[in-house]
Structure 1
Amino acid sequence: MTQYTIMPMEVVMSGWEQPQPPSIEINWQGITMEVQPLNATQAAIVRIRSGNAQDYLNPNYSPGRIVEFRPVG
C-alpha cells in the first residue's frame, strides 16, 4: 500500500503496534459483520461482509454503530 501525505511518519504510524480489542463475527438482521463486543449484548460494528452492494450504503450497518445481539451458546 502506498500513502502520500504531508503528515510526519510518526503521526501516520502512531498506534500501529497497539493491540486491537478482539472482534467476533455475527449475523445481524441477515448481514454477516465483524464487531467488537462492548458488553454481553452490545457490540460496535467494525466492518460488514456482504455480497450485496446495497448493504454498504445502508447507514444502519455503518462502522461504529452499536448493535444489540444475543450470544449463542
Structure 2
Amino acid sequence: MTIYTTMPMELVFEGIHEQPGPYVSVQVGDVRLQIEALSPGIGRIVRLMDGPLDAYLRPELTPGTVVAYGPSAP
C-alpha cells in the first residue's frame, strides 16, 4: 500500500495500534445502531447497522452524535 500525503506519518498512523470500543448494538425504533460506550447509559454513535434508507438522512443519527441508551433512555 502506498500513501501519498503531505501530513507527517505520526499523524497519519496515530492510534493504529489502539483497540477500538467497547461497542454495543442498540435498537432505537426501527434502526439498529452501533454505539461506542462512553459511560454507563451514554454512548457515541459509530454507525447505523440496519434500518430504512431515510434513517441515514436523520441528523440525530449521525455518526459521532452522543446519545443515551439502555432501559432508562427516552
Sort the TM-score into its range (normalised by shorter chain).
Answer: 0.7 to 0.9
RMSD: 2.2
Distance 2:3 2:55 in 1: 28
Q: Which residue is 1:40 aligned to?
A: 40
What's the offset of the Cα at 1:6? 2.4
Segments of 4+ moved more than 3 angstroms = 1-4
TM-score (norm 2): 0.74
What is the aligned residue count?
71
Determine which structure has the larger strand proportion and give its number. Answer: 2
Gaps of 5+ in 1: none
Gaps of 5+ in 2: none
SS at match of 1:16: coil
Q: Deviations over 1:51-72 (max 9, x none)?
A: 532111110100121222225x
Distance 1:2 1:32, change over 3 A: farther
What's the offset of the Cα at 1:29? 2.3
Q: Deviations over 1:20-52 (max 9, x none)?
A: 231011101221010012222221111111253
Identity fraction in percent: 32
TM-score (norm 1): 0.74
